[in-house]
Amino acid sequence: MAENERPEEGKKNQDITKFLIMTIATIVIMFVVFAGVNYIVMENLISQKIASISVQNEELEESEDSDEIQKGIIVDLGDFILNLCDENAKKYLKVNVAIEVSKKDTDFPTEEAPAKGGHGHGEEASAPADPMAAIQAEMNQYKPAIRDAVITNLSSKTSTELSTAAGKELAKEQIANDINSILGGEREVLRVSFGQFIIQ
C-alpha cells in the first residue's frame, strides 16, 4: 500500500509544480505586456504635451507681433455651459467666449462721404448708420454656426486638457480655425478670449 501512495504523491507534486510554473509565467507575461502598454501610452502623452507647449510658445510670439499690428472688432458670443468628455466623472465647463475679428475697409466710412452730396438739408438730417450695428448684424448671421463650433470643440476636451494654459491656448487656436472656415474669408479671427472659465 505504501508503494502505491508514493507515486500518487509524486504525481500531485508534479501537478502542483506545473501549476505554479504556469501561474508565475502568466504573471510575468502580463507584467511585461502591462509595462509595454504603459510605456507607449506615457510616451504618447509626453510627446503631445511637448507639442502643445511648442504650439503655445509659437502662439504667444505670433500674438505679440499681431497685437502691435492689427486690432479688430470684438464680438461677444455669450456664455456656454457644456459637458466635458471625461470618462471617470461628469465634468462641466462654464465659459464666456468672445472673438476678435478683423476690420474691413468699408466698416468705418470716413466723414467726407456725406459732404460730397451737398444738395440740401435732407441729406444732413439723415444720420449715418452705426458701423458697429452693421458689423453686429453681419456677425449675427454666423452666430449659430460659430456657437456650434465652440460647443463642439470644447465638449470634445477633458477637464485635464483644459486645466492647463497650453490646453486652453490649443482650444483657442482650434476654435479660431473652425470659425475662420465658417466666415469663409469675409473676416479673420484674430483672437479668441475666454472671459469666465469654470470647470466643476
Q: CATH number of the domain at 170, please.
A: 3.30.479.30
Residue type, 92: Y
Q: Looking at the structure, tell me whether residues 76 and 151 fall in a common domain.
A: yes
Residue 7's pLDDT band (cuts 50, 70, 90)? low
Bridge partner residues of 82 (DSSP): 93
Domain range for residue 32? Answer: 1-69
Q: Looking at the structure, tell me whether residues 190 and 121 fall in a common domain.
A: yes
The set of cell numbers assigned to 178 is 473652425
Residue type, 79: D
Element (H, E) at 157: none
Q: Looking at the structure, tell me whether residues 177 and 86 fall in a common domain.
A: yes
Q: Looking at the structure, tell me whether residues 117 and 162 fall in a common domain.
A: yes
Q: Looking at the structure, tell me whether residues 96 and 186 fall in a common domain.
A: yes
Using CA atoms, how far apart are residues 138 and 182, in angstroms rounded to an integer?
13
Residue that wins the pLDDT comparison between 68 and 192: 192
The whole-number pLDDT of residue 134 equals 76
Q: Looking at the structure, tell me whether residues 87 and 139 fall in a common domain.
A: yes
Q: Looking at the structure, tell me whether residues 17 and 52 fall in a common domain.
A: yes
Residue that wins the pLDDT comparison between 108 and 102: 102
146-173 pLDDT tens trace: 999 999 999 998 888 888 899 899 999 9
Task: Look at residue 103 and give its three-state secondary structure.
Answer: coil
Tell me which of 27, 52, 69 is where a domain ends. 69
Q: Looking at the structure, tell me whether residues 39 and 134 fall in a common domain.
A: no
CB 162 within 8 A of CB 168: yes
Q: Looking at the structure, tell me whether residues 169 and 110 fall in a common domain.
A: yes
Q: Looking at the structure, tell me whether residues 39 and 18 fall in a common domain.
A: yes
Alpha-carbon torsion (71, 73, 79, 83), positive or negative = negative
Domain count, the chain: 2
Q: Looking at the structure, tell me whether residues 117 and 26 fall in a common domain.
A: no
